[in-house]
């Protein structure tokens, strides 16, 4: 293991020869991976029940149970874990079979340290992507439920902010409602932002990323464009913000406000993330509409109750 800090990833190697374990460990440990080794497939499968490895590297020909069985079991039982086959007897057939079963790659032996590292890095990247997608999917389902679990406007606004920060791992977020009469954006709710930043002044909808209202689409502004596109660039910098994503709150082409996400580094959003954000903002806007309709009837009821004699 690396001398200092957390390992980059936990890797389990299955091979019946000690010499292979030694050489793989040497290469990977030098790059700050934690490497454990076992000599048999069954031993590996036992260990996986207890330890959450990121990646398993397995030889093909192992006494008792073949590496192909390890690939099959891991791909079936641990969808969040990567597995890669290596072998001193590479054939087209075993390469195709192992990858059909779920091996992320197939590495013929002998390999150079660079070849091994390239395969490990590429496989870990794949696994991280799969995990992130799954996590996003789960968090999204929770978030959508959360904003629909209430008819109280304040609760919904807070829930939108909290959930959007958790979903996209950003520093903070705010909900700005559009006042159509004077074209200002009024802060309705926020999370993760300082009082000083929130009180920075009146936000003019025609000066603060106005493209959002025109296009009805999310718009990203990075730190180097703050001066030309933000109304309060200085304040944003002082707050430690490096990028701002503005997403319209829109139901059937009617924009009621803007949901803003603030990142402390220049963050980019993938197409999938933007789709999810659009969907979330739309569901948020609907939940807000429902809360307003509910609130109105409740206010009407309260107003009438004043007239009821004791």
Partner 1 sequence: MTTEIKGKILVLDGEPQVLNELTRILDADHYQVSPCLTGKEALALFKEKDFDLLITEWRLDAQDGLDGFQVMESVGRLDPTLALVVLTAFPDVDSAVKAMRLGAKDYLKKPLVPEQLLALVGKLIEDRQALLSRREGQAVFEELKRRISSSLNLQEVLDLIAAGVAKGMGVKGCTISLLDKKRDQLKVVAYQGLTQKYMEKGPIDPARSLSGMVQSGQDLFISDVTKDNRVQYPEEAREEGIKSILSVPLLLKQELIGALRIYTATAQHFSPEDFKFLHSLADQAALAIENARSYEDMKNKYEALRGDLVDYFEDGWT
Which of 15, 54, 59, 105 contacts partner 1 by CB under 8 A?
105
Q: Which is nearer to partner 1, 99 or 274 (CB)?
A: 99
Contact code string over 197-226 relative to partner 1, x by CB under 8 A:
------------------------------
Q: Which is nearer to partner 1, 151 or 177 (CB)?
A: 151
Q: Which of 207, 170, 165, 164 is nearest to 185 (CA)?
A: 207
Which of 22, 51, 149, 179 contacts partner 1 by CB under 8 A?
149
The whole-angstrom separation of Cα 161 and Cα 144 is 12
Q: Which of 293, 213, 203 is nearest to 249 (CA)?
A: 213
Which ranges constitute the DSSP H helices of 170-257?
Answer: 195-198, 211-215, 226-229, 233-238
Q: Which of 217, 226, 227 is nearest to 259 (CA)?
A: 217
Q: How far is the CB of 153 from partner 1 (least distance, A)?
A: 13
| 308 lies in the binding site for partner 1 (CB under 8 A) | yes
Q: Which of 38, 45, 61 is nearest to 108 (CA)?
A: 61
Residue 245 bridge partners (DSSP): 220, 261
Q: How far is the CB of 213 from partner 1 (least distance, A)?
A: 22
Q: Which is nearer to partner 1, 61 or 198 (CB)?
A: 61
Q: Which is nearer to partner 1, 225 or 283 (CB)?
A: 283
Q: Which of 174, 160, 148, 158 is nearest to 290 (CA)?
A: 148
Kindly list the residues in this chain that would bind partner 1 in the complex (CB under 8 A). 90-92, 95-96, 99-100, 104-106, 108, 141, 144-145, 148-149, 151, 251, 279, 282-283, 286-287, 289-290, 293-294, 297-298, 300-301, 304-305, 307-309
């Amino acid at each position: 293991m690396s001398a200092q800090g957390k390992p980059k990833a936990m890797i389990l190697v299955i091979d019946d020869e000690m010499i292979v374990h030694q050489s793989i460990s040497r290469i990977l440990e030098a790059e700050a991976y934690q490497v454990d080794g076992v000599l048999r497939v069954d031993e590996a499968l036992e260990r996986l029940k207890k330890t959450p490895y990121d990646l398993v590297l397995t030889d093909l020909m192992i006494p008792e149970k073949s590496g192909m069985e390890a690939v099959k079991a891991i791909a079936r039982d641990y969808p969040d874990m990567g597995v890669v086959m290596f072998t001193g007897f590479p054939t087209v057939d075993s390469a195709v079979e192992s990858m059909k079963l779920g091996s992320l790659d197939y590495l013929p032996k002998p390999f150079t340290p660079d070849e091994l590292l390239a395969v490990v890095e590429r496989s870990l990247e794949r696994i991280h992507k799969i995990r992130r997608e799954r996590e996003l999917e789960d968090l999204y389902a929770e978030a959508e439920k959360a904003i629909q679990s209430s008819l109280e406007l304040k609760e919904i606004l807070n829930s939108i902010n909290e959930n959007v920060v958790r979903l996209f791992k950003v520093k903070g977020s705010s909900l700005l409602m559009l006042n159509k009469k004077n074209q200002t954006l009024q802060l309705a709710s926020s999370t993760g932002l300082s009082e000083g930043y929130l009180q920075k002044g009146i936000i003019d909808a025609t000066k603060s990323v106005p493209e959002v209202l025109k296009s009805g689409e999310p718009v990203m502004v990075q730190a180097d464009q703050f001066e030309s596109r933000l109304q309060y660039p200085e304040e944003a910098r002082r707050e430690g913000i490096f990028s701002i994503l503005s997403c319209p709150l829109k139901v059937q082409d009617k924009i009621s406000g803007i949901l803003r996400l603030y990142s402390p580094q220049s963050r980019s959003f993938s197409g999938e993330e933007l789709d999810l954000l659009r969907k979330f903002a739309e569901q948020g806007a609907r939940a807000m509409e429902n809360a307003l309709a509910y609130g109105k009837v409740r206010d009407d009821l309260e107003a009438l109750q004043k007239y009821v004699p004791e």
